[in-house]
Structure 1
């Protein structure tokens, strides 16, 4: 029996509404995931891309990943990883040959899929094929000039995997980063293409006992494999998702999977209701979760963020159905005239106070407003 742990889409260095999530990510990597690896003692850890959130990640994110690699090496457990569309393949290719000899596989090129990494387990060889994120142009370059007709991701993956010959006497798995056909996309994913040209057919994964996928942040099945999903919630669109790491068991030609749930230090939640109700709940149950408040009041609410934040220090955003409906105005003529610059600055200021604070500007308010405008003009 072979056991693997599959994770993906760490996005180290990511921020949510401008708030850095590095502390949350440090907790996941060092205090949750590494202890899990030490307890489970899997035959390998699979990391299916988007290790970092951007191609030039902050130093703290690089340091965190370096710490992870060193501690995993101390456990003598192989890591099989690929780069995702958020990663810089060139930067992460540094020292890849040396790392591979130490049991750290970090695949950055499409042609890496033709050179499987074999792990000798107590139950036989495990062949790991690695296909990092690549666009059709990169696939054409890897395959040679005779493949100039490759224009979609599906064509690229089919052509690249057509050259793979799974070993008959081994368990064969694929680690890759792509948009599998039929996958459910969330707000925090960044598809590189639109329409069907970005999708990869599930038949690509048929030759493998398991396909460890990355790219989509919601955990879900995909053909012979599945998306592990991101370990943390990276948008309020993901508030309802359950996060986890996938445990894979390969035994006698059968593959079974189980999601090990992650309960984060601070959840990502959306609150919805009238302001007075939300404020009462906040006073009764203060929280440091990352929150977004949707106000259903159909009238202006005075300084809602300032009044909620003492109880919700990580309140990151707020929306108002009243404002979204036009602030109670019968039509949008005022906004149309404002866009066409037919409304004076004093009128805009008065409308702002009316919509946000529910009051008319006093003479002192207007004088102060004019002083601020003059100061801005000097700047």
Structure 2
């Protein structure tokens, strides 16, 4: 029986609405994933791209990955990783030949797929083919093709590169790659420049392999003979309902079994939906440090909702109002015009202000004074 763990899309250095997620990522890598490796002792770890969130990651993100490599080396568990579209292939290629001899494979070039890395397990060889993210131009260069006769789409590039791969029939053959497999479910945190249309790769490309460890799409999902592990953490609010994890893969007698090991970080990413008063009451009763986005369903204006919720939700990162969005009105520049579009009078706004901020109902004298002030303002 051969066992390995498949993960992808760590995006070290990622921020959500400007809030750094490095603390959550540090927890995942050092406090969750490394202890998992110590317990599981898998034959290998497959990391299918987007190790970092950008090509020049913050120092703290690089330090975190360095600490992970050191801990993994001490456990003597091979790491097979490819670069994704967010990574800098050139930077991650530094020392790759030396690392490879130590059981750490960081594949950064399309032609790396022609030089598989073989791991000797108790149940026989595990042959790992690595195909990092590559544009058709990079594939043409690797293939020695001209600009006219070489591949011009991602699907063509993958087919041309994999055509030179001849998996041995008597070993377990894996493909570790980073791409957009046809039919995949996309999340908001994935760049639209790298999904859809000519960026898709046909699922039949993966047929020669016992398992294909995919990276790029953040929702865990099956794809042909393999699957996307998905990102281990939630990186956008439309991922709030996704169940994140790491995939444990077991291959025995030619049969492949997968199990998603769930990841539950200290702070979740959630969307709250409802009327402000109900949400505020819930916040007062049960404060939370989760990363939150609030969708207000109120049909009237709410005074400073963020400031009133944040004492209980310190990681409240965004808010939307159904009242403001229901009529559109993005071209209207005046707040008062927006109120009028919703047929809310200035007097109603004043009343709501006293109710929400002062906790009182306006008296007749209050309303009379307010009308007098408003009239004077209109005459100016």
Alpha-carbon spacing, 1:353–1:324, altered in 2? closer, same or farther (3 Å): closer
Check the 8 A contact 1:187/1:237 in 2, yes or no: yes
* SS of residue matched to 1:81: strand
Could you say which residue in structure 2 is the equivalent of 1:113? 113
Structure 1 Cα separation of the partners of residues 250 and 331 of structure 2: 61
Alpha-carbon spacing, 1:362–1:303, altered in 2? closer, same or farther (3 Å): farther
Is 2:67 aligned against 1:67? yes
Structure 1 Cα separation of the partners of residues 22 and 186 of structure 2: 24
Is 2:316 aligned against 1:358? no
Could you say which residue in structure 1 is the equivalent of 2:360? none
Structure 2 Cα separation of the partners of residues 337 and 192 of structure 1: 31
Per-residue CA deviations over 1:272-306 (Å, capped at 9, x if unaligned) read: 00100100111111111000000010110001001
Could you say which residue in structure 2 is the equivalent of 1:173? 174
Check the 8 A contact 2:332/2:338 in 1, yes or no: no
Say how many residue pairs are matched. 351
Alpha-carbon spacing, 1:72–1:199, altered in 2? closer, same or farther (3 Å): same
Is 2:15 aligned against 1:15? yes
- Pairing of 1:18-97 with structure 2 (within 5 A): 18-97=18-97
Check the 8 A contact 2:180/2:195 in 1, yes or no: no
Alpha-carbon spacing, 1:145–1:300, altered in 2? closer, same or farther (3 Å): same
Check the 8 A contact 2:8/2:48 in 1, yes or no: yes
Alpha-carbon spacing, 1:309–1:336, altered in 2? closer, same or farther (3 Å): closer
Alpha-carbon spacing, 1:275–1:39, altered in 2? closer, same or farther (3 Å): same
Deviation at 1:150, TM superposition (A): 1.0
Could you say which residue in structure 2 is the equivalent of 1:238? 239
Alpha-carbon spacing, 1:337–1:163, altered in 2? closer, same or farther (3 Å): closer
Could you say which residue in structure 2 is the equivalent of 1:295? 296
Check the 8 A contact 1:353/1:361 in 2, yes or no: no
CA RMSD of aligned residues (A): 2.3
Structure 2 Cα separation of the partners of residues 247 and 282 of structure 1: 37
* SS of residue matched to 2:46: strand
Deviation at 1:361, TM superposition (A): 12
Deviation at 1:145, TM superposition (A): 2.1
Check the 8 A contact 2:180/2:194 in 1, yes or no: no
Structure 2 Cα separation of the partners of residues 301 and 15 of structure 1: 28
Structure 2 Cα separation of the partners of residues 293 and 117 of structure 1: 47
Could you say which residue in structure 2 is the equivalent of 1:208? 209
Structure 2 Cα separation of the partners of residues 159 and 292 of structure 1: 44
Could you say which residue in structure 2 is the equivalent of 1:132? 132
Structure 1 Cα separation of the partners of residues 194 and 222 of structure 2: 22
Deviation at 1:358, TM superposition (A): 3.0
* SS of residue matched to 2:52: coil
In structure 1, the gaps of 5 or more residues are: 339-347, 368-379
Structure 2 Cα separation of the partners of residues 307 and 188 of structure 1: 28
* SS of residue matched to 2:349: coil
Could you say which residue in structure 2 is the equivalent of 1:344? none
Deviation at 1:250, TM superposition (A): 1.0
Check the 8 A contact 1:7/1:48 in 2, yes or no: yes
Structure 2 Cα separation of the partners of residues 358 and 159 of structure 1: 65
- Pairing of 1:210-225 with structure 2 (within 5 A): 210-225=211-226
Deviation at 1:351, TM superposition (A): 5.3
Alpha-carbon spacing, 1:20–1:167, altered in 2? closer, same or farther (3 Å): same
What is the TM-score of this pair, normalised by structure 1? 0.88
Per-residue CA deviations over 1:202-222 (Å, capped at 9, x if unaligned) read: 000000000000000000000
Deviation at 1:170, TM superposition (A): 1.1
In structure 2, the gaps of 5 or more residues are: 351-369
Is 2:323 aligned against 1:322? yes
Structure 2 Cα separation of the partners of residues 12 and 361 of structure 1: 56
What is the TM-score of this pair, normalised by structure 2? 0.88
Structure 1 Cα separation of the partners of residues 122 and 196 of structure 2: 45
Per-residue CA deviations over 1:320-363 (Å, capped at 9, x if unaligned) read: 01111248xxxx5xx7575xxxxxxxxx4765899999348998
Could you say which residue in structure 2 is the equivalent of 1:183? 184
Per-residue CA deviations over 1:144-180 (Å, capped at 9, x if unaligned) read: 1257341110000000001001022211000000000
